[in-house]
A and B are shown apart, each in its own frame.
Chain A
Amino acid sequence: MKLKPVRVLMAVAILLTGTSAADAHVVAARLGDFYMGASHPLTDLQDVVLWIATGVLAGTLGASKGRWLIPVFPIGLLVGLSLAPVFGTVSTQLADATMMLAIGMLLAAAAQVPTLVLCAIAFAVAVIRGAANGAELGPETDRLLFAAGLACVGYGVVTLTMALTVVFKRTSDSVTSWRAIAVRALGGWIGAIGLMMASLVLAS
């Protein structure tokens, strides 16, 4: 059977809109709340797609701009987590979709984003996802340990994604090199997923 790209994108978008509370409680029972915080976002497709998209965007802009995200992203996650009780159980799906669309379009257009704007985008993504992760916590969870785990995994994922992207797409590459085109194509896919996800959220 031949997989059509549009079908794949639709499937991912439906999966993303359909995700509910990530089930990392098995990890909590086994290894405690630090590891629950570290594993919780990795079991949620919205976190995985948005975090990697942010890391790829920062990586394509080069190490000098990207490295600011090493402190900015985990701090954003902690801010989001601390704001979670204010937001309550408000769905972040539309905000996630908007950020996905925006980052995807920036990647597809190979836009040269200033460092301050990059940091603002990464901070916004981190705050939204930090709040989403925090909203699912029960009263029995040690929030301090969970926050430490979440910040550590956020730092790790974004740092590694940026470094891998820097290695893959060297700044010396021309815009017509296959590596640059591959990153732009990935951006197009991320943008398309964001657009479909936003449509599904607004239609429901």
Chain B
Amino acid sequence: MGVLEFREVRPGAFVGRWSIEPSIGASRVDLRMPPHCFLRLPEMNCGEKGLVGPITISNLGSNMSVVLIKVIPIEGEPRSYTISTANPVVSVLGTGAPTLEAWVELAKTYVNYGIDHILLGADHLLFVLGLIWIVGGGWRLVKTITAFTIGHSASLAAAAFGLIGVPERPLNACIALSIAFIGVEIVKQQRGETGLTARYPWIVAFTFGLVHGIGFAGALAGLGLERRLLPAALLFFNVGVEIGQLAFVLLVLALIWAHRRLDAVVPRWGEAVPAYLIGSVSMFWFFGRLARVFAAI
């Protein structure tokens, strides 16, 4: 990640500097400012129009995925814009009311960011897979996934607005532990016992949804979003997370349906394997994350 600050020194004229230099080196970032702006760092001149229009970084990749552009005007509050690999173009809104085009840009950026976040979050997906495994299909699954969604949306919003704050490292260890809990519940179900998740799946999904939601908020933290954009960014990010989660649930359900159609079910001796696999992976993550908690103390 890199952070580039532009401080307005007189109307339309800015001084820019990298407050956090990107890992690939500042000189290698292919930064393009709006066409009417003349940029030669540390100077940038946008004339009478001011800094309004598209900012692009076309060479983001696996070495550097996010750049934060901070604009500090002479008058008014500082503003921040996030350029990511998912959306390498952002529109600078200016100090006036945001236009429709600006809202569309914001939606594209944060919906994509939400989709990326859930698709790369193997721990969240494993938890959802465990829930599907226990609950099966039908309305019970709809209720369970809805409860998980409500849970993580509520805590994501609370964390993003600063109402709650949990240190990231212990939280990540708790998320790993929540998956281990689901693994244990699957084993219980296979032994014919009725576990808590089998009895009250939506309560378990909602409770752990709260934990996972704070984890999602970690993705938004540190991007330095300006206050007026936070509600919209949060909404779009959450929409992206839901799109990714729904796609994953539908894919899993389609594969379960296909296996039933083909009579390709796990043999009796291998029924416990997925639960132990989920449990083992989650405990591996838990101990790894716990080690990071103690290393930070």
Q: How far is the CA of A159 from the CA of B119 in the complex (A)?
A: 22
Residues A163 and B257 in contact, CB atoms below 8 Å apart: yes
Q: How far is the CB of B109 from chain A (nearest CB, A)?
A: 13
Which one of A35, A64, A166 contacts B119 once the chains associate, using CB atoms below 8 Å? Answer: A35
A185–B129 Cα gap in the complex (Å)? 39
B62 & A32 in contact (Cβ 8 Å cutoff): yes
Q: How large is the interface on A (under 10, 10 to 19, 20 to 34, 35 or more residues)?
A: 10 to 19
- A49 at interface, CB cutoff 8 A: no
Check B116–A30 contact: CB distance below 8 A: yes
Q: How far is the CB of B282 from chain A (nearest CB, A)?
A: 18
Task: Assess whether A66 is in contact with B262, with CB atoms less than 8 Å apart.
Answer: yes
Q: Which residue of B lies closest to A161 (CB)?
A: B258
Distance in angstroms from A192 CB to nearest chain B CB is 28
Contact in complex: A162, B262 (CB < 8 Å): yes
In contact, A160 and B255 (Cβ under 8 angstroms):
yes
The residue on A at minimum CB distance from B260 is A163
A-B contact count (CB 8 A): 47
Asked whether, in the complex, the Cβ of B263 is within 8 Å of the Cβ of A63, the reply is yes
The answer to whether B120 has its CB under 8 Å from any CB of chain A is yes
- Is B268 in the interface zone, CB < 8 Å from A? no
A183 to B83, CA, bound (A): 48
Interface of A is mostly: helix
In the assembled complex, the Cα of A64 lies from the Cα of B261 at a distance in Å of: 10
Q: Which of A116-171 contact B (CB under 8 A)?
A: 156, 159-160, 162-164, 166-167
Contact call A159/B259, Cβ cutoff below 8 A: yes
Q: Would you call B60 and A29 a contact (CB within 8 A)? A: yes
Say yes or no: is A12 at the interface (Cβ < 8 Å to chain B): no
> For residue A162, which residues in chain B have a CB less than 8 angstroms away from its CB?
258, 262
Q: Does A31 touch B at the CB level, under 8 Å?
A: yes
A31-B264 contact given A159-B258, A160-B254, A163-B257, CB 8 Å threshold: no
Residue of B nearest to A162 (CB): B262
Query: Known contacts A28-B62, A30-B85: does B116 contact A163 (CB below 8 Å)?
Result: no
Q: Is A67 an interface residue (CB 8 A)?
A: yes
Main secondary structure, interface of B, reads helix
Using an 8 Å CB-CB cutoff, how does the interface string of B41-70 with A read, 1 for contact, 0 for none? 000000000000000000011100000000
Chain A residues with CB under 8 Å of B60's CB are 29
Contact yes or no, A31 B262, CB < 8 A? no
Bound complex: CA A119 to CA B78 (Å): 63
What's the least CB distance linking B123 to chain A, in Å?
14
Q: Which residues of chain B are near A160, meaning CB under 8 Å?
A: 254-255, 258
| CA distance in complex: A32, B254 (Å) | 25
Q: Of B86, B116, B251, B262, which one neighbours A166 at CB under 8 angstroms?
A: B262
Assess the B86–A70 pair: CB atoms within 8 A: no
CB-based contact A31/B61 at 8 Å: no
Cα-based distance from A70 to B86 in the complex (angstroms): 33
Chain A residues contacting B116 (CB-CB under 8 Å) are: 30-31
Which residues of A are interface residues toward B (Cβ below 8 A)? 28-32, 35, 63-64, 66-67, 70, 156, 159-160, 162-164, 166-167
For this complex, 21 residue pairs linking A to B, each with C-beta atoms less than 8 Å apart, are A28-B62, A29-B60, A29-B61, A29-B62, A30-B86, A31-B119, A31-B120, A35-B119, A63-B261, A67-B263, A156-B251, A156-B255, A159-B258, A159-B259, A162-B258, A163-B258, A163-B261, A164-B258, A166-B261, A166-B262, A167-B261
